[in-house]
Amino acid sequence: MRVTFLPQFNITHVYNTGFAAAGKPKTGMREELAELRVFHHHIYEYKKGIRNLILTTEKAKYRDSIENRLKNEKIDYIIHDIPNGKINVYFGEKACVDVVKTLNPKLNELSAEQDFMLGIMLGYDRVKQCERYLKIKNNIIKLQSGKNQLGG
């Protein structure tokens, strides 16, 4: 497996431990870095001001690493456990995360208004979110089915 790093991606900043003397990740760390590459890219986007709120689904086994990175970066976050050994990680501006804390952790149980608001906060296309909201309100999409999750 080959791991490619973005030029702005400071790997020593991501993990304070777990590196061999040559600066390469120890065994097991490479897999974690590869599986969390999207998470780390989301942090890059947040720090560059591209996004104010991020939702990413990751493997629950990386929860400690994720929390450590967010704490080290002083980024507000909330983590919800979901089925199949995964977690939904929301992070970003404090006000945005505080709003997410008021919502049901089960995305398929959000009201149409909450679904719309969360989609807009995550930066989804406004027109498509309006169309989605109307479909939910007109019972064309049913969130309780477990299908058609946010943005779907």
- Chain centroid to Cα 128, Å, comes to 21
Arithmetic mean of pLDDT, 88-108: 96
Residues 89 and 107 in one domain: no
8 Å CB contact between 121 and 103: no
Residue-wise over 103-114: b if at least 16 C-beta within 10 A, else e? Answer: beeebeebebeb
In a domain, 110, yes or no: yes
Of 47-56, 76-85, 124-133, 140-149, the poorest mean pLDDT is in 140-149
- Please report, rounded to a whole number, the percentage of residues in the chain having pLDDT higher than 90: 67
**CATH number of the domain where residue 56 is located:** 3.30.2190.10
DSSP string spanning 23-63? SPBPTTHHHHHHHTHHHHHHHHHHHTTS-SEEEEEEEGGGH
In a domain, 98, yes or no: no
Query: Rounded distance, CA 152 to CA 138, Å?
Result: 16
Q: Which strands sit side by side in the sheet containing 76-82, from one edge to the other?
A: 53-59, 86-92, 76-82
In a domain, 118, yes or no: yes
Of 41-55, 57-71, 85-99, 134-148, the poorest mean pLDDT is in 134-148
Judged against a pLDDT cut of 50, whether residue 75 lies above it is answered with: yes
Residues 71 and 35 in one domain: yes
Q: What is the pTM of this model?
A: 0.76
Residues 79 and 125 in one domain: no
Q: pLDDT value at position 150?
A: 57
Residues 13 and 75 in one domain: yes
Residues 88 and 119 in one domain: no
Segments forming the whole domain that contains residue 76? 1-93
Which of these, 126, 18, 112, 121, lies nearest to 78 by C-alpha position? Answer: 121
Query: Rounded distance, CA 28 to CA 8, Å?
Result: 23
Query: Rounded distance, CA 94 to CA 52, Å?
Result: 9
pLDDT digits 0-9 by tens, 133-150: 999 999 988 886 544 455
In a domain, 143, yes or no: yes
Judged against a pLDDT cut of 60, whether residue 123 lies above it is answered with: yes
Residues 42 and 75 in one domain: yes
pLDDT-derived band of residue 44, with 50, 70 and 90 as boundaries? very high
In a domain, 56, yes or no: yes
In a domain, 75, yes or no: yes
Judged against a pLDDT cut of 90, whether residue 16 lies above it is answered with: no
Q: How many domains does the chain have?
A: 2
In a domain, 148, yes or no: yes
Mean pLDDT of the chain: 83
In a domain, 88, yes or no: yes
